Structure 1
Amino acid sequence: MKSVVTSISLELDGDVTHTRRSALLIAKVAQAPSRDQIRFATAVSEIARNAYQYGENGVAEFSFNTTSRGVRLLARVHDRGHGIRDVDAMLRGRHQSHKGPGLGLSGSQKLVDDFVINTSEAGTIVELALNLKTVNAPVDLARTAAEALVTATHGSPVEELSEQNRALRDALAEQQFLLREMHHRTKNNLAIIQSLALMQARRSEHAETRRALNDLTGRIQAFANAHNLLHRADDVTHVDIREHIETLTERLRVALAQSGLAIETEGPPLLVSFDTATELGLIINELVTNAAKHAPSTNDRNSVVTITAARVGTKIRLTVADNGIGLANAEETLRASKSLGWKIIEGCVRKLNGSIAVDGSAGLVVDVEFDQGPF
């Protein structure tokens, strides 16, 4: 049996804002953690906005009920539209439209603990639930929440906005801490795997096996480096690619010291996403390692590889160039190559939705370009 708190008619744009404020306050009264308050309110407001804009208005109802898993806060949004097409594809995140009925379904589903949708030509009903850790009965929670909503209508809008901002800051700080801790633990786990691979390489009697394991440790380090930077960064969502390259190449200088390869880096500070940083780290690792193997120093010339990353128009261009002997028909030769390193590079470029150009006429020059919109 459910205990209803309130119902809100979704007929004006302001009703969506009122729905979000109510969701946030009810979740707070239910003593949900700040992060859960934010995610529940965000999910409900997305569905409410969709109902208002595309569902010919509707109603949002808040209630508490009890299930086998305990007490939960439930929001039920019912619109009067004509249903949502391809709803299953939307929920799987495969729908490509960014407007029209169904806006926000996939994202809202990920924010709540339970998400149920029923849609037909008679309208759409979406139920969003937040599991609570409370010993209070649903009827008591509903009564307390209803009283809080009445009190809030007579409160100061400035105080209400300040309280919401504090909740947002608290939720953001908690998320930042959790992300930083995740990167720290991932970095440590990768370090353990890297150490095991190095130990196995030292114990191996076969040179080819040792080379393969040493190559593997370099690839692991390329992953670990981005995690390490984000663990120490103020912003745990983006990586300064210049710092990433400098840190990675410093480690490569130590690992490849016997090759005599000099590594130079150029380029301004440039923020990229974590996923982009890991792909670029792998590309750089493969190309620098390749230069150490195939661009050896001679009596009259030291082997040098130069790494440059810069924004070019709306794109980012990564250039890795060595001063070795080059490679005839470089693009065709590398495309036909069975080299694991080159296949890794091509795979990384595909993940970036980028393009790759190769020139082997005077040393090997590899340009990778990809879109990376402004932050």
Structure 2
Amino acid sequence: MTHTRRTARLAAQVAGAATRDQIRFATAVSEIARNALQYGGGGVAEFAFDRPKERTRLMARVQDKGPGIAAVETMLRARHQAHTGLGLGLSGSQKLVDYFDLKTGSGGTLVTLGLHVAGSRDTDELAKSAAAALIDAAQGSPIEELAEQNRALRDSLAEQQFLLREIHHRTKNNLAIIQSLALMQARQAKSEETQEALGILTNRIQAFANAHNFLHQAEDVTQVDLRQHLDSLTERLSSAFGSKGFTIACRAEAFPVGFEMATEIALVVNELVTNAAKHGGENGHVKIDAYEDGGNICLRVSDDGPGLENPEAVLRNSRSLGWRIVEGCVRKVNGSLDVEGAKGLSVLLTIPNDR
């Protein structure tokens, strides 16, 4: 597999592919080769350049003589994770390359992967240059080759981190513009109902923007510290509702969560706090608790308002947009809800911690 990965990377390098494209192609090819070795009893990897429709491609064909792959379409749609890891290798590799084709049957499996390369060099010339590069590489130290691959991978990861950080920064700025426009519209609105609706909208926008803001600043652009995230959101919600004597207290443990989970949790908190401010009176109080319990992340939002009799049924039958948003967020993170309404409203969100 090491030789196959090196061949894929060097061929892509000779073709002028960017470092990140070399890495993604080499990773996809080596993953398919691993599948062929582990599940197909070995196989053959072949590389070639072609130019269909005036566009040059680097192609890799990996063939084994195994028994074929059952439920392959389901695996490629990433709806099934085989215990062997085969599904991850297929669906993951498909996403990394520009062309992917798979043929499988009782006589074995043939996977063809392609990478688009820039320029208009002759395919025979590219093939000769790639062969020469492989001959030169074969005379070098395997340790040096591994070190070079690691350097290329680090460079690619650093570039991806930069791009992700820039995406979060631009998204945060765009959301800030939308939020400002909504606030301006709220100030000009004559109807209190319109002002209230626009105020709720700006808080929802902020729940999204908050996570983007933290990821833009964070060293790891894929995870958010939940305590910082909820503390910041609580501060903004307190500013929005605090003028009425309404108070919010937040106690959250510090641990990282993924971006999607961070945004869904923020939306749930925003909707529940907004509901408490709306129905709990001017001097109401809300408590937000977030903590880890075994293999779960737990979020409890409770208020001291009038509460509800049979709250689960009442809320389930409610036409409230806020509660529909809460239920939608819970479904996205595969969580569950427990609601109590005897002494104010208390909502417990429990989410499996998959990190």
TM-score (norm 2): 0.94
Alignment of 1:160-309 (within 5 A): 160-297=145-282, 302-309=283-290
| Contact 2:285–2:304, Cα closer than 8 Å, also in 1 | yes
2:33 aligned residue: 48
Shift of 1:37: 0.9
Shift of 1:332: 2.3
Q: 2:335 aligns with which of 354, 357, 360?
A: 354
Which stretch of structure 1 is more off in the superposition, 69-78 or 97-106?
A: 97-106
Distance 2:258 2:272 in 1: 21
Q: Deviations over 1:205-245 (max 9, x none)?
A: 33322222221111111111111111111101111111110
Residue type matched to 2:242 in 1?
Answer: A
Alignment of 1:1-375 (within 5 A): 16-99=1-84, 104-297=89-282, 302-373=283-354, 375=355
TM-score (norm 1): 0.90
Q: CA RMSD in A?
A: 1.7
Distance 1:20 1:26 in 2: 10
Distance 1:213 1:271 in 2: 31
Shift of 1:370: 0.9
Shift of 1:101: 5.8
Distance 2:189 2:213 in 1: 29
Flag the 1:226–1:77 CA change in 2: closer, same or farther, 3 A.
Answer: same
Q: Deviations over 1:295-330 (max 9, x none)?
A: 224xxxx53211111100110101112222332322
Flag the 1:178–1:259 CA change in 2: closer, same or farther, 3 A.
Answer: same
Identity %: 59
Distance 1:199 1:101 in 2: 53
| Contact 1:50–1:102, Cα closer than 8 Å, also in 2 | no
Q: Deviations over 1:179-214 (max 9, x none)?
A: 111111211222222223223333333332222222
Structure 1 unaligned runs (5+)? 1-15
| Contact 2:230–2:252, Cα closer than 8 Å, also in 1 | no
Paired residues in the alignment total 355
| Contact 2:78–2:87, Cα closer than 8 Å, also in 1 | no
Task: For residue 256 of structure 1, give the secondary structure of its aligned residue in structure 2.
Answer: helix
| Contact 2:24–2:97, Cα closer than 8 Å, also in 1 | yes
Task: For residue 104 of structure 1, give the secondary structure of its aligned residue in structure 2.
Answer: helix
Structure 2 unaligned runs (5+)? none
Q: Deviations over 1:91-135 (max 9, x none)?
A: 222234243765521111110011112222222211101111134
Task: For residue 68 of structure 1, give the secondary structure of its aligned residue in structure 2.
Answer: helix
Shift of 1:69: 4.4
| Contact 1:40–1:130, Cα closer than 8 Å, also in 2 | yes
Distance 2:204 2:290 in 1: 20
| Contact 2:36–2:42, Cα closer than 8 Å, also in 1 | yes
Shift of 1:271: 0.5
Which stretch of structure 1 is more off in the superposition, 323-332 or 20-29?
A: 323-332
Distance 1:144 1:195 in 2: 56
| Contact 1:55–1:79, Cα closer than 8 Å, also in 2 | yes
| Contact 1:259–1:292, Cα closer than 8 Å, also in 2 | no
Distance 2:244 2:15 in 1: 64
Shift of 1:38: 0.9
Shift of 1:261: 1.4
Which stretch of structure 1 is more off in the superposition, 165-174 or 318-327?
A: 318-327
Q: Deviations over 1:29-76 (max 9, x none)?
A: 222111111110111011111111222321100111222242211101
Shift of 1:148: 1.7
| Contact 1:325–1:363, Cα closer than 8 Å, also in 2 | yes
